[in-house]
Structure 1
Amino acid sequence: MMNDLFERHHIKILGNPEAKETLLFAHGFGSQQSSWEYILPAFKQEYRIILFDLIGSSFLGRDEFDVTLYNSFSDYAKDLTTICNYLNIKRATLIAHSASCMIGTLVALKNPDFFKRLVFIGASPRYLNDTNYVGGFTEQEVLQMLSVMAKNYSDWIQHFSVSAIDDPSQPLLSEEFAQCLLKLSPDIALIVFKMIISSDYRQEVSQLKLPTLIIQPQNDMFVPLEVGLYLNEVIEHSKIAILPTKGHFPQLTHPYIVADTIVKYLHKSSTKKMKN
C-alpha cells in the first residue's frame, strides 16, 4: 500500500521532520508539485512539508486514466482523503492552488480533523458568470474555449500557458507550464478541463468554518478579483490578500510575495492561538 500510494501520487516529505506543524501543498490543473518549488525554501526550516501529484498531472493515456473514476472534484477529493489518512494528517495547513482549492474544500468539510487552516491561491468555486455572480466567463466563451481545445490541443496550450502565466518578462515559465500540459493526453485534458470550467461549488465553500487565507492576484484572467472578494464574503473566518500581480500562477511569477504573504499569515495565526 505504502509504495503504491507514494508512487501513484509521487508523494514527497520534505522540510523539518521534527516540526510541530505540517504544510500540505496541492497543485492545480495542468501543473505538478514542481509548481511550488520557488516558495518552498521559505518553509523548509520551520515546517514539515508534504507534496503530491494529482492523478493525471503526468502523462497518462486512456488505458491508465479511468474517466469514470475522475469525472468530478469529489473523485479527486477521495484521493486526497486517502493520502491524509495514510500519512496520519492531523490539523495540518492545506496550501492549495486553483482547482485543488475546491478539492480541499470537499475534503475539509467531510474530515474536520485533517486541517486547522486553509490557504487558497487563485481559487474559484465557479468560473461561469451567473445571476449576481461574476465568475469570469460566459457560457459562449467556455464553449468556444473547449472547441479550440478539441480541434488543436497544442495550439490551445500555447495560448493558455501564456495567458495563465501572464508575464512576458519570464517566457520560460510559460514554456515550462506548456510542457506540463503537453504531458496530458488531449482527450483526458479536455475531459478534466471541461469538468473544472463547468463546476459550481459555491454552496460548499459557503459551509467552510476553518480560518482561510485567500490569495488573489489583482489581475487573473481565469479568476477575476470579484471571485476572491466573493470567497472572502462567504467563507466565515477568511481573510483576503490581494497581490499586486498578474496571472494565475503568482507562486511562480512572484514567489517571494506569495511566500511572505503565507509566512506572515501562519505566524500571525499561531501567535493569536498562543494568546488565546
Structure 2
Amino acid sequence: MYQLIFAHGWGFDQTFWQKLSEKFSNRYDVLMVDFGYTGNKVVTLDNLNEKKAICIGHSLGVLWLLKNVSNPRALISISGFIGYQSFFGINKIQKMKRILLKNTATQMKLFYKHTGFNVTPTITFDTEALVDGLEYLQFGDASKELSKLKCPVLAITSRDDRIMPQGIAKKIWKNHNLHVLRDGGHVTPVSKVDECESLIKNFLIDNEL
C-alpha cells in the first residue's frame, strides 16, 4: 500500500487536511506531519517507506517535504513554496515576526484573512513554533531538491491566492504540471476539497499509484 504523507503550511495544523485526507484513507496509508503551531508537534517519519511515499504538501509543507523526503514516488504541491527570499524578499516575514511577538492572535487573524481561511479556529497558538516556522520559510531553499526530483509532480494553485501569487507559482513549477483553479485562495485543500480530490486522484491514476 502506498503512503500519503501530508504536510500542512505555516499557521495551520494537521486538521487542515481532515476533509481531503478522508477521501484517500480507504486506499492509502495516511501519515500526517504537524509542525506544532497549535502545540501538537509531530514531525517524525519513523514509519516512512520512501519507496511507497507520495508527498502532499501545502505552502511551507512542500518546502519541508522536499528537504526531508529525498526520493518519493510522487510530489503534489498545493500553493507550495520551495523557498521565500528568492521570490519575495524578507520584509514581509520580518513584519509578521514583529506582530507575532507583540500579539499572536492579531497576526494570525490577519494571516487567515489573507489566505481566505474564513473560520478562525478558537485555539491556542504556540508563538515560538510560529516564529521558528517563519524562519524556516525565510531561510529554507529546496530549489536544488526540486531540480533533482525524478518522480511525477503535480502542482495546484488558484488565481486568487494572495500568499502564493499565480505568476510566482508559474515560475516555481515551470517544468512541471501546474493546474490553476479559478478561486479558493491559499487554502484550496479546505475551500475546494472536491476539486483538489479530483486533480489528485486523476494524477495518481495516470501514474499508476
TM-score range, shorter chain: 0.7 to 0.9
Which residues in structure 2 correspond to 1:178-257 (within 5 Å)? 179=122, 182-184=124-126, 186-234=127-175, 238-257=176-195
Classify 1:189/1:41 alpha carbon distance in 2 versus 1 (closer, same or farther; 3 Å): closer
Which residues in structure 2 correspond to 1:1-276 (within 5 Å)? 20-45=1-26, 47-59=27-39, 79-80=44-45, 82-84=46-48, 88=49, 90-109=51-70, 112=71, 115-128=72-85, 130=86, 135=87, 137-164=88-115, 166=116, 171-172=118-119, 175-176=120-121, 179=122, 182-184=124-126, 186-234=127-175, 238-270=176-208
Give the % identical residues.
20
Classify 1:27/1:145 alpha carbon distance in 2 versus 1 (closer, same or farther; 3 Å): closer
In the TM superposition, residue 55 of structure 1 has moved relative to its aligned partner by 4.3
- TM-superposition CA deviations, 1:107-146 (whole Å, max 9, x none): 333xx3xx21111111111223x4xxxx2x3433332222
Query: Counterpart amino acid of 2:60?
Result: A
Classify 1:50/1:89 alpha carbon distance in 2 versus 1 (closer, same or farther; 3 Å): farther
Question: Does the 8 A contact of 2:35 with 2:129 survive in 1?
Answer: no
- TM-superposition CA deviations, 1:49-69 (whole Å, max 9, x none): 313242424327xxxx9xxxx
Question: Does the 8 A contact of 2:104 with 2:125 survive in 1?
Answer: no
Structure 2 SS opposite 1:39: helix
Cα distance in structure 1, aligned partners of 2:32 and 2:90? 33
Question: Does the 8 A contact of 1:119 with 1:213 survive in 2?
Answer: yes
Classify 1:91/1:198 alpha carbon distance in 2 versus 1 (closer, same or farther; 3 Å): same
Cα distance in structure 2, aligned partners of 1:143 and 1:106? 23
Query: Counterpart amino acid of 1:187?
Result: E
The unaligned stretches of length 5 or more in structure 2 are: none
When normalised by structure 2's length, the TM-score is: 0.86
Question: Does the 8 A contact of 1:214 with 1:239 survive in 2?
Answer: yes
In the TM superposition, residue 89 of structure 1 has moved relative to its aligned partner by 5.1
Cα distance in structure 2, aligned partners of 1:142 and 1:55? 18
CA RMSD of aligned residues (A): 2.4
Structure 1 SS opposite 2:19: coil
Match of 1:7 in 2: none
Greater C-alpha radius of gyration: 1
Structure 2 SS opposite 1:209: coil
When normalised by structure 1's length, the TM-score is: 0.67
Query: Counterpart amino acid of 1:119?
Result: I
Classify 1:213/1:103 alpha carbon distance in 2 versus 1 (closer, same or farther; 3 Å): same
Classify 1:33/1:187 alpha carbon distance in 2 versus 1 (closer, same or farther; 3 Å): closer
Query: Counterpart amino acid of 2:76?
Result: V
